[in-house]
Amino acid sequence: MYLCIIVFPLLSFLASSLFGRFLGVYVQCILSTVSIFLSFIFSLVAFYEVALCGCTCHIYLCPWFNGELLMTNWAFYFDSVTVVMLVVVCSVSSLVHLYSIEYMNIDPHQGRFMGYLSLFTFFMLILVCADNFVLMFLGWEGIGLASFLLIGFWYTRIQAGKSAIKAMLINRVGDLGLVLGICAIFLTFKSLDYAVVFGLSPCAIGQTFSFLIFEKIDRLTFITLFLFIGVLGKSAQLGLHTWLPDAMEGPTPVSALIHAATLVTAGVVLIIRCSYLFEHAPTTLCIVTVIGSLTAFFASTVGLVQNDLKRVIAYSTCSQLGYMVFVCGLSHYSIGLFHLANHAFFKALLFLGAGSIIHGLCDEQDLRKMGGLIRNFPITNVVILIGSVALTGLPFFTGFYSKDVILEIAFSSYNKFGLFSFILGCLAASCTAFYSWRLFYLTFMNIPNSYKVYQQQAHEPSLIMLTPLFILCIASVTIGYVGKEMFAGLGTPFFQSSIFNFFKPINLDSEFLNPFIKNLPLFLTLLGMGLSYILIYCSNSTNIKFLEWVLNIKLSKIGRQLYKFLSKKWHFDQLLNEMIGHRVMTFGYRVSFQVLDKGIIEKYGSLGSSSNLNRLSENAINLHSGFLFHYIFTILFSLLSLVLLFFFSVWMKINLIKCFLLLLCYFLLISHTR
Amino acid sequence: MNFAFFTLLPLFLFFIAIAGIALNRKNILTIIMSIELILLAVNFNFLISSVYLDDRLGQLIPIFVLTVAAAESSIGLAILISYYRNRGTINLEFINQLKG
């Protein structure tokens, strides 16, 4: 049964890619949806058995490759973290499958699309179920590949192709770090199995080795730092985040799958999985905290001014990932996983809701060309409302249970990094509220800005698309409450030994915080909502005086500078392109192509030597001018110089061979000068 | 008077002859004459060595060389004549058919 969870998506992928022509699109859709749904049912059972009944499961299939010390197996390990991820991935994935039956039904390649979705799910399941780092890496690369295929699904669009390449390449940067980390793990622990590595992790404390120019760096710090570089790429943390918004070029269900449940959460899952290693490396934890909180803040500020419906949600994903990462950095991995699970549901809800708008509005994605859609999309309106409320973390919705806990933990961790992340997290919370409501107002409430034809044709999707939305709505409202005691409860035995941290009872500190601090994120969220109400909704009110005031704020010099700065994404794309991308490309052309390949190698290789020989032989031929006196001169002069050289060598006692070499040089000189 | 002093003359003669061959650009007859001069210088050298070493062999070889020189000059001049018949000129500057 446990293997069925993993195998079903693979089978559906194989069926739709190998026999797609025979099956037909309709059968492919049904087949893939049903198979993923079956693996969802199985993963629910697995959740019951493993997480609730507390019996972890380890399945050994066969050896993969065995060297001297390296033993890598096809083996799967199901513990609490795995089954939580299984449920999240399978549920969101099956809903996305169901959703894309309707959403993609006019696409000529729908069968291929469903196959890719299944492939993606399969690799994600491999990643979360793996029992060693190599198998995990297989899944890691596999979801990279599947994301490449899915983002570039409409391969005729150049922008989609470029985005797919960008996603793939930036992920590769992180993957390099991950590979280095895995190599360092093998060097240190002589094994790649999770059980061995995590069991031995305390033994590596204080061990050092040298790497490149660095002498005596701490092994665990090095390992976790490089694992974290992998996380940077996959989970779109600050620095390697630029691929995430561009990945919006894929179809909307893809965005829902990638950004809600699967691709970007892989990095966070890796941190949670490697909690045994991270916990012993406090330096890395500090870095993780700082980067995570910076990401949360950065992405939410950029999200404020995005004009693309999907991009707003993409940046909110980036920001929520920042929350997850920094709470992991504060070594509350279970809370990170909790937020991950919650986030998967409401983010999938938001994306699929956005997809329903895009689908009903003739593929219009620009927020500025929407407005007043509340009459056309009453159900989607409610869906997005619930999603936004859950995202902003208003009380009693899903986001509240994880997000507020994260912020409380950040405040109560008693170090400067915790405080830093608390401040940035609170600011990010208010920004999140602002852009969520901005999205809501611009889409549904404001005066209509789209074409009349679009508005007249706008319609709610059919029941196939609405069913996932309903289910996700229910999940977004209830999951947080249901899961709270499991994930964040006091002394919960839910995670048994799958997550390790040094100080269990710290939750107490965050539980009994000052009420003001506890309510601060809520106040800031309400502040963001109010600002959004004033700046976005009221700016088209009938009160001319008020309208002018808002306009003045928006058009003031500071306002415009701020807008420019934010809408350019803090100039990160520009920075990366100009500082790294262009430099590397220029280097590739100038140095490795022009100087090395076409330069040195050809000059001293075949082409250069052949042309040089030709030139030399031409020179030698030119010596034969046909004039008798030239020949005579050459013969006599050479003879004389030979004799002279002979005597010279006898006199100076030089080796005769050297003299002949000298003579050779002399002839070469002659042949060049002619 | 030592040996070196006496060999200076044939040496100079030899080099003059070589210069005559190498520096001459016009006349093929001069070349033949220069070759004769070379043989003459060689003969001189043999004879001087013969006297100096008190050895008869040094006088024997010049007689052979004289005959060889006579044969050589006659054959050379014959070639020259037949060449002149073919080309109508014996100017060295125009003997450049054998280019590399």
Residue showing tokens 């058919």: B97
Instruction: Answer for the pair A322, A289: CB distance below 8 angstroms, yes or no.
Output: no
At how many degrees (to 10) do helices A398-411 and A463-488 cross? 30
Q: A667 to chain B nearest CA, in Å?
A: 17
Highest mean pLDDT among A466-475, A506-515, A570-579: A466-475
Q: Cα(A356)–Cα(A373) distance, rounded to whole angstroms?
A: 12
Strand-strand pairing, A214-218 and A208-211 = antiparallel
ipTM above 0.90, yes or no: no
How high is the pLDDT of residue A210?
A: 79
Q: How far is CA B25 from CA A40, A302, A630, B91, B96, in A?
A: 104, 90, 9, 8, 12
Predicted confidence (pLDDT) per residue in A313-349, tens digit: 999 999 999 999 999 998 889 889 999 999 999 999 9
Residue of B11, B16, B25 to mutate for A, most A C-beta atoms under 10 A:
B25
Residue in A621, A622, A626 closest to B96 by CB? A626
Q: What is the mean pLDDT of residues A457-483?
A: 89
- Asked whether the beta carbons of residue B22 and residue A637 sit closer than 8 angstroms, the reply is yes
Residue B47 sits at the chain A interface (C-beta within 8 Å): no
Residue A131 has pLDDT above 80, yes or no: yes
Residue showing tokens 């930036």: A170
Residue B22 sits at the chain A interface (C-beta within 8 Å): yes
Which chain B residues contact residue A623 at CB under 8 A?
100
- Asked whether the beta carbons of residue A622 and residue B100 sit closer than 8 angstroms, the reply is yes
Which chain B residues contact residue A617 at CB under 8 A?
none
Q: Residue A40 corresponds to which tokens in the numbers above?
A: 């969802």
Residue A505 has pLDDT above 60, yes or no: no
Three-state DSSP class for residue A396: coil
CB atoms within 10 A of CB B80: 16
For the ranges A64-73, A200-209, A461-470, A634-643, the lowest mean pLDDT is seen at A634-643
Which chain A residues contact residue B23 at CB under 8 A?
629
Residue in A621, A626, A632 closest to B22 by CB? A632
Q: Exposure pattern of A619-646 as b/e (b: 16+ CB <10 Å)?
A: eeeeeebebbbeebeeeeeeeeeeeebe
Residue in B22, B98, B100 closest to A633 by CB? B22
SS3 content of chain A, % helix, strand, coil (to 5): 80, 5, 20
Which chain A residues contact residue B92 at CB under 8 A?
627-629
Q: What is the mean pLDDT of residues A111-120?
A: 92
- Summary mean pLDDT of chain A: 87
For the ranges A198-212, A284-298, A377-391, the lowest mean pLDDT is seen at A198-212
For A625, nearest residue in chain B (alpha carbons): B99
Which chain B residues contact residue A633 at CB under 8 A?
22
Predicted confidence (pLDDT) per residue in A401-416, tens digit: 888 889 988 888 878 8
Predicted confidence (pLDDT) per residue in B31-40, tens digit: 889 999 999 9
The 3-state secondary structure of A511-573 reads HCCCHHHHHHHHHHHHHHHHHHHHHHHHHHCCCHHHHHHHHHHHHCHHHHHHHHHHHCHHHHH
Residue B30 sits at the chain A interface (C-beta within 8 Å): no
Which chain B residues contact residue A621 at CB under 8 A?
100
The 3-state secondary structure of A315-337 reads HHHHHHHHHHHHHHHCCCHHHHH
Highest mean pLDDT among A231-235, A567-571, B88-92: A231-235
Q: A640 to chain B nearest CA, in Å?
A: 11
Predicted confidence (pLDDT) per residue in A592-637, tens digit: 888 888 888 888 888 888 888 888 888 778 777 777 777 777 787 7
B-facing residues of A in 634-653 (CB < 8 A) are: 636-637
Q: How many CB pairs under 8 A join A and B?
A: 39
**Is the Cα torsion angle A163, A165, A166, A172 positive or negative in sign?**
positive
Residue in A622, A627, A632 closest to B96 by CB? A627
Confidence label for A261 from pLDDT (cuts 50, 70 and 90): confident
Instruction: Answer for the pair B10, B39: CB distance below 8 angstroms, yes or no.
Output: no
Q: How far is CA A93 from CA A286, A468, A674, B4, B26, in A?
A: 34, 10, 79, 110, 100
Residue of A619, A628, A640, A643 to mutate for B, most B C-beta atoms under 10 A:
A628
pTM: 0.82
Residue A506 has pLDDT above 70, yes or no: no
Q: Cα(A100)–Cα(A251) distance, rounded to whole angstroms?
A: 9
- Asked whether the beta carbons of residue B98 and residue A626 sit closer than 8 angstroms, the reply is yes
Confidence label for A164 from pLDDT (cuts 50, 70 and 90): very high
Residue A541 has pLDDT above 70, yes or no: no
For B99, nearest residue in chain A (alpha carbons): A626
CB atoms within 10 A of CB A396: 11
Residue A113 has pLDDT above 60, yes or no: yes
- Asked whether the beta carbons of residue B25 and residue A629 sit closer than 8 angstroms, the reply is yes
Residue of B15, B16, B18 to mutate for A, most A C-beta atoms under 10 A:
B18
Angle of CA points A251, A253, A254, to nearest 5°: 65
How high is the pLDDT of residue A507?
A: 67
- Asked whether the beta carbons of residue A626 and residue B25 sit closer than 8 angstroms, the reply is no
How high is the pLDDT of residue A540?
A: 66
- Asked whether the beta carbons of residue A629 and residue B99 sit closer than 8 angstroms, the reply is no
How high is the pLDDT of residue A292?
A: 93
The one-letter code for the residue type at A489 is G
Residue A101 has pLDDT above 80, yes or no: yes
